């Protein structure tokens, strides 16, 4: 196995930060499987453009059967899994007394429970991998909080606790577990933020700008591939917004 190309699975890998991570890992000569929820054409287009063999797979965050299916597809195609990047997530905004309780808990169930399903499905393969790693994409909202984001902030904070505990559980298996916490990033989602809000946010960022998806992807690749003596780490990449 050690002589074969390394393999990565990136959830939510067809858009925004996930697509940038998919491209960055492929540039490092990893075979990459990127998952999509509904953007099949976009995911397949990205895979055809990559320099190394890639695979676009449907995935439903929060569904344990989907988690086992996507890992099984990677193993049938390539026979190994070395890096798991958990980028897919769910967001619903609303203050705690206005957001419907079912939706509030649904955000936690998808972001925390959904990622736990995928970790459980991937562990047997990761234990056999080379320099195996799990990288969670959290958010600075999980560190600092944000009004109107109690569900999302709780979920992203829970991912940090999950990852740190998981790092202690999996250290004996040689599996590194780390967290990346991005700040405001230029994606198709943040493109909808009004200009007045963008200016107000940028003024609070030490570097006075939003980050790029490629900048976040570079940090994700560092954690997944290069940070061989880091586990349980939370790497904040937010231009100084959380200072």
The pLDDT, as a whole number, for residue 212 is 95
Kindly report, residue by residue over 207-243, the tens digit of the pLDDT: 999 999 999 999 999 999 999 999 999 999 999 998 8
- 130 exposed, middle or buried (CB, 10 Å; 0-12, 13-18, 19+)? middle
Q: Answer yes or no: is 151 within a domain.
A: yes
Q: Answer yes or no: is 242 within a domain.
A: no
The pLDDT, as a whole number, for residue 155 is 94
- 147 exposed, middle or buried (CB, 10 Å; 0-12, 13-18, 19+)? exposed
The pLDDT, as a whole number, for residue 230 is 98
Q: Answer yes or no: is 1 within a domain.
A: no
Q: Single out the catalytic residue among 36, 152, 184, 229.
A: 152
Which CATH number is 166's domain given? 3.40.50.720
The pLDDT, as a whole number, for residue 50 is 94
Kindly report, residue by residue over 137-194, the tens digit of the pLDDT: 999 989 988 788 899 999 999 999 999 999 999 999 999 999 999 998 987 767 667 7
Kindly report, residue by residue over 88-99, the tens digit of the pLDDT: 988 888 888 888
Q: Answer yes or no: is 188 within a domain.
A: yes
Q: Say which residue the tokens 């007045």 belong to.
A: 196
Kindly report, residue by residue over 30-83, the tens digit of the pLDDT: 999 999 998 888 999 999 999 999 999 999 999 999 999 999 999 999 999 999
Sheet architecture: strand order including 234-237:
54-58, 31-36, 7-10, 83-86, 133-137, 176-182, 234-237
**152 tagged catalytic:** yes
Q: How many domains does the chain have?
A: 1
Q: Answer yes or no: is 174 within a domain.
A: yes
The pLDDT, as a whole number, for residue 208 is 92
Question: What's the pTM value of the predicted model, to 2 decimals?
Answer: 0.93
Q: Answer yes or no: is 2 within a domain.
A: no
The pLDDT, as a whole number, for residue 189 is 67
Range of the domain at 20: 7-237
Alpha carbon distance 241, 160 (integer Å): 19
């Amino acid at each position: 196995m050690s002589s074969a190309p390394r393999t990565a699975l990136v959830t939510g890998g067809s858009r925004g930060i996930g697509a940038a991570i998919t491209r960055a890992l492929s540039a490092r000569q990893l075979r990459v499987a990127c998952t999509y929820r509904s953007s099949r054409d976009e995911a397949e287009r990205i895979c055809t453009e990559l320099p190394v063999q890639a695979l676009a797979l449907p995935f439903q965050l929060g569904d344990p059967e989907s988690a086992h299916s996507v890992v099984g597809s990677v193993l049938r195609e390539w026979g190994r899994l070395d890096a798991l990047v958990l980028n897919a997530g769910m967001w619903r905004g609303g203050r705690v007394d206005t957001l419907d309780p079912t939706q509030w808990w649904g955000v936690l169930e998808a972001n925390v429970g959904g990622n736990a399903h995928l970790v459980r499905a991937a562990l047997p393969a990761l234990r056999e991998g080379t320099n195996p790693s799990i990288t969670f994409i959290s958010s600075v909202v999980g560190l600092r909080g944000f009004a109107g984001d109690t569900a999302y902030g709780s979920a992203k904070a829970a991912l940090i606790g999950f990852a740190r505990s998981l790092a202690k559980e999996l250290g004996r298996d040689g599996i590194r577990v780390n967290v990346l916490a991005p700040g405001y990033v230029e994606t198709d989602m943040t493109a909808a933020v009004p200009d007045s809000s963008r200016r107000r946010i940028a003024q609070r960022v030490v570097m006075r700008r939003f980050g790029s998806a490629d900048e976040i992807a570079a940090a994700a690749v560092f954690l997944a591939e290069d940070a061989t003596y880091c586990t349980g780490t939370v790497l904040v990449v937010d231009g100084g917004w959380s200072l």
